[in-house]
Amino acid sequence: MMKTSHMRDQEVLSRQYKDSSNLDIRKNFHKKYSTNPTSFTDWILSKIKFINGCRVLEVGCGTGSLWQNYPQLTDTFAELVLTDISKGMIDIAKETYVARKNIQIQAMDVLDMPFEDHSFDIIVANSMLYHVNDVDSALEIIHRILRDGGVFYATTFGKDGQISYINHAMFEMGLSDSKEIGEISFSLENGFDLLRKHFSVVKEETYDAHLEVSEPLDLVEYIFSMSSMSHVARSNRDKMNAYFESKKDSQGILNIPVMSGMFISTKDCSLRS
């Protein structure tokens, strides 16, 4: 079974994200095989309504790569604060942005953020809330530190995308004992209801893409990079590669669905001037 509980296990996550290697594998995989010419990063930033002089916070920023290729954008911010629980990730981000005076980088847990009330115009959580054990408490904190009229942008995935494809494959290979996917703390299926407890207006945007994979070994490495698959032994690598080779279509392609999107949540939008 895909152990989605590992996605929230801090010991597992500390190993998975001690550096950027696993994250890089997944980013490069999607970049190589996605059918959408607009990258997920570009899509995310296209959905955010920035204003000059805004204060922006990203929680669970990883290496800060979301902003790396957009200095002209971040130069318009009064401040960009990047936080992540992983010191290894934060160290990389600090090296990347060492010369950027309006970018502040701190190792910090989303459940223990000391920022004052109404501190930020925009908060971003990019594919990270499903790693949080207490999502409700995290959203309460995020709501508190957003200014009135501020907007929270949270990306995540749905169960019917690549994780369903992967879990079904692992079951067929005898490497999973169930076709069912365990509970995900923040997904496209439950995210709206979780956010509506805290935000007056929530809307959902969908990222339209699927993956056309020509090299199954890349998919195998992607699977090994997943925290929910961290229990799978690497000795199964050849077996997995052979299985996916056998599943190619007549064009030599594995067609894998992607189910990703973003929730856009506004705090007290009636107070917006």
Q: Where are the domains of the chain?
A: 10-162+185-210+258-271
* pLDDT of res. 13: 59
**What is the topology classification, in CATH, of domain 10-162+185-210+258-271?**
Rossmann fold (3.40.50)
* pLDDT of res. 12: 60
The closest alpha carbon to 154, from 217, 115, 196, belongs to: 196
Give the torsion sign (CA, 249, 253, 256, 258). negative
44 sits in which H/E element: helix 40-47
CA dist 193 and 212 (Å) reads 32
CA dist 136 and 111 (Å) reads 10
* pLDDT of res. 3: 54
CB neighbourhood size of 245 (10 A): 13
Contact 254, 244 (CB under 8 A): yes
236: tokens are: 């199964």
Instruction: Kindly report the pTM of this predicted structure.
Output: 0.91
* pLDDT of res. 271: 42
Per-residue pLDDT of the chain (273 residues; tens, 9 = 90+): 455 554 555 666 566 666 788 889 999 999 999 999 999 999 999 999 999 999 999 999 999 999 999 999 999 999 999 999 999 999 999 999 999 999 999 999 999 999 999 999 999 999 999 999 899 999 999 999 999 999 999 999 998 899 999 999 999 999 887 777 878 899 999 999 999 999 999 999 999 999 999 999 999 999 999 877 778 889 999 999 999 999 999 999 999 999 999 999 999 755 443
Q: The tokens 């502040």 sit on which residue? A: 104
In sequence order, what are the residues at sequence separation of 6 or more whose Cβ sits closer than 8 angstroms to the Cβ of residue 203? Answer: 263, 264
In sequence order, what are the residues at sequence separation of 6 or more whose Cβ sits closer than 8 angstroms to the Cβ of residue 114? Answer: none
Burial class (CB in 10 A: 0-12, 13-18, 19+), 164: middle
* pLDDT of res. 227: 77
* pLDDT of res. 176: 80
Helix count (H) and strand count (E) of the chain?
Answer: 10, 9
117: tokens are: 């009330």
